[in-house]
Structure 1
Amino acid sequence: MANGLSPLLDGAARATDPVVRGITDEQLTLPTPCAEYDVRALLNHLFHVVVGFQALAAREAADFTTTPDYLEGDWRTRFGAETGKLVTAWSAPDALEGVSPGMGIPQPTVAQMVLGDLLVHGWDLARATGQDYRPDQAVLDEVQPAVEDMAPMARKAGVYGEEVSVPSDATSFEKVLAATGRDPRWSPR
């Protein structure tokens, strides 16, 4: 029996998968809204997060000290398979219980972290490669308060950049992007 978060992970994966599949080899060197990553590096980072958080769902160790190169063979199809495994791992009824031994934070917070990564990095990759990205509204509704709660700690840890100012009438997605240090108006040009 799935828990309440697994459908949200599935929604985030479904929104990001077509973006990943739409990236051409020629686009791998393009800049992204994450200044430290080009498209290739961001894809490898997102792959690594997806694979690592499969282990974290089962309260197993995940090594984030290095990022392997996942862009070999049919990596576009493999991304969908790996996000499917992620959804399955977090669908376990007890996946959201307790504290992550590897991260020392509650399992629901760990799950919200990977949910946020799929959402925000899906946008990053779409923006960098000129694709549309339509976030799942239920995912956005779940991620927005989590991002707002985690933002000060994430900025201090260097995971988020400084908050970007957005107009008061900004959409909830633009506010999430801004809270993570992204300019919702970012363009590769």
Structure 2
Amino acid sequence: MKTISELLEGAAAKAGPVVRGIGDDQLSRATPCSEYDVRALLNHLFGVVANFQVLAAKEPVDFSRTPEFVTGDWRGRFGDETALLVKAWAEPGTEEGVSGGMGLPARTVGLMVLGDLTVHAWDLARATGQDFTPDPDSVAEMEPAFAEMAPQARKMGVFGEAFPPPPGATAFERMLAGTGRDPGWSPPRP
């Protein structure tokens, strides 16, 4: 079994090109997350990456605010922040015990950020017309974990109601459907 930091490294390698491929003219586009346009989803993802660096150290975080991260060289900064996330989760003991900020097993918290990084990279790729293939090791770890988390995640409003996966769906498509996403989503026509 791979460590969370190894999985995050693979996921970041897939997410980075998507973020770097987003044009400034695409920031107002719709995403599969109906409450977020591309800019808002980028800000959310940046916030997740930053907050889960803190959670790796088992410290509490404040999820109630989302600063504006999409300024200056935000594309380059995303790479820097994901590298810091990988490093934070590589520290000895990070996957042991309970997360100080969330009260969940540390590895579960690591899988949550892995899921955010992977699923939101797909969301952003779909919204901006880019190709995205998730890291297969990440999907293999996340699919059963997300299936287990789904009922509680729906109660908390983190996942939407499950979407019926298409016939012959891949593991990743089943995972997306479990979060309430349509794996065949495409942006509305202008």
Q: What is the TM-score of this pair, normalised by structure 1?
A: 0.97
Which string of whole-angstrom CA distances, capped at 9 and with x for unpartnered residues, describes residues 1-24 of structure 1?
Answer: xx7221110000110000000001
Q: Secondary structure at the match of 1:29?
A: coil
Matches within 5 A, 1:1-189: 4-189=3-188
One-letter amino acid matched to 1:73: G
One-letter amino acid matched to 2:179: T
Measure, in 2, the Cα distance between the counterparts of 1:18 and 1:168: 29
Deviation at 1:33, TM superposition (A): 0.1
Which string of whole-angstrom CA distances, capped at 9 and with x for unpartnered residues, describes residues 41-70 of structure 1?
Answer: 000000000000000000112111010000
Q: Secondary structure at the match of 1:185?
A: coil
Measure, in 2, the Cα distance between the counterparts of 1:131 and 1:167: 21
5+ residue gaps in structure 1? none
One-letter amino acid matched to 1:110: V
Which string of whole-angstrom CA distances, capped at 9 and with x for unpartnered residues, describes residues 112-132 of structure 1?
Answer: 000000110000000000000
One-letter amino acid matched to 1:123: W
CA RMSD of aligned residues (A): 0.9
Q: What is the TM-score of this pair, normalised by structure 2?
A: 0.97
Measure, in 2, the Cα distance between the counterparts of 1:45 and 1:167: 28
Measure, in 2, the Cα distance between the counterparts of 1:130 and 1:178: 20
Identity over the aligned pairs, expressed in percent? 61
Deviation at 1:167, TM superposition (A): 3.0
* Segments of 4+ moved more than 6 angstroms: none
Deviation at 1:168, TM superposition (A): 4.0
5+ residue gaps in structure 2? none
Which string of whole-angstrom CA distances, capped at 9 and with x for unpartnered residues, describes residues 110-162 of structure 1?
Answer: 00000000110000000000000011100110110111010000000000000
How many residues align? The count is: 187
